[in-house]
């Protein structure tokens, strides 16, 4: 069984995947890191050189590859992954995957992401906190349809990475 973590950027997917993998004695794979390894480029470079459509096609290809060739892994997806190319259907149609939406409030996402926006190309250009809030609000509205199709939903607000990992463990097992 793979446990697939999804949610908006800044919700803690990568950190929680590592913590959960340690708890459950499983390996973790970050889909964005996997794509960068396979393409020999950063996600930012892929977007700049080939564009988003190319990236989304490759993302779908590599997600399928991971789901077909890896078992007993914690897989953290990119924030947009569930929303494109039928990726959410891939997760739902496979009984060997347990998808978990790491649901984080708008306010908490704004607080987290404003502090690290320089590291995130999608929002690096946003200078005002209120503009970031509007940007995230719009994305959450568009993406919540996909996120809410996850088999499980775990709220991350005001919880540590360890608390969230424990909650996921107790929910799934």
DSSP conformational letter for 5: E
11 is in an annotated binding site: yes
Long-range contact pairs involving 127-133 (C-beta distance under 8 Å, separation at least 24): 133/106
The response to whether 58 counts as a known ligand-binding position is no
Q: Is 56 annotated as a binding residue?
A: yes
Residue 83 annotated as binding site: no
Are 75 and 6 spatial neighbours (Cβ–Cβ below 8 Å)?
no
Q: For residue 8, which of 131, 108, 121 has the smallest C-alpha distance?
A: 108
- DSSP state, 151? S
Confirm or deny that 120 is annotated as ligand binding: yes
| Sheet strands side by side (includes 73-76) | 27-30, 73-76, 2-6, 97-103, 152-155
- The answer to whether 13 is a known ligand-binding residue is yes
**111 marked among binding-site residues:** no
Is position 79 annotated in a ligand binding site?
yes
Residue 10 assigned ligand-binding role: yes
* Contact predicate 55/43, CB 8 Å: yes
Q: Which residues are annotated as a binding site for ATP?
A: 10-15, 120
Q: Which residues are annotated as a binding site?
A: 10-15, 32, 56, 79, 120, 143
Q: Which residues are annotated as a binding site for substrate?
A: 32, 56, 79, 143
Q: Which residues are annotated as a binding site for Mg(2+)?
A: 14
């Amino acid at each position: 069984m793979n446990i697939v973590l999804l949610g908006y950027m800044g919700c803690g997917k990568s950190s929680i995947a590592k913590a959960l993998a340690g708890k459950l004695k499983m390996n973790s794979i970050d889909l964005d890191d996997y794509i960068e390894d396979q393409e020999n480029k950063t996600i930012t470079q892929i977007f700049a050189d080939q564009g988003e459509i190319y990236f989304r096609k490759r993302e779908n290809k590599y997600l399928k590859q991971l789901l077909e060739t890896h078992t007993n892994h914690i897989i953290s997806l990119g924030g947009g992954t569930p929303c494109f190319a039928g990726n959410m259907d891939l997760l739902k149609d496979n009984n060997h995957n347990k998808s978990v939406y790491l649901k984080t409030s708008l306010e908490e996402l704004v607080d987290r992401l404003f502090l690290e926006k320089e590291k995130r190309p999608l929002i690096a250009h946003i200078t005002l906190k209120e503009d970031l809030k509007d940007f995230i609000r719009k994305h959450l509205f568009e993406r919540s349809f996909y996120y809410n199709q996850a088999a499980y939903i775990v709220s991350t607000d005001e919880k540590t990475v360890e608390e969230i990992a424990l909650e996921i463990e107790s929910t799934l097992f």
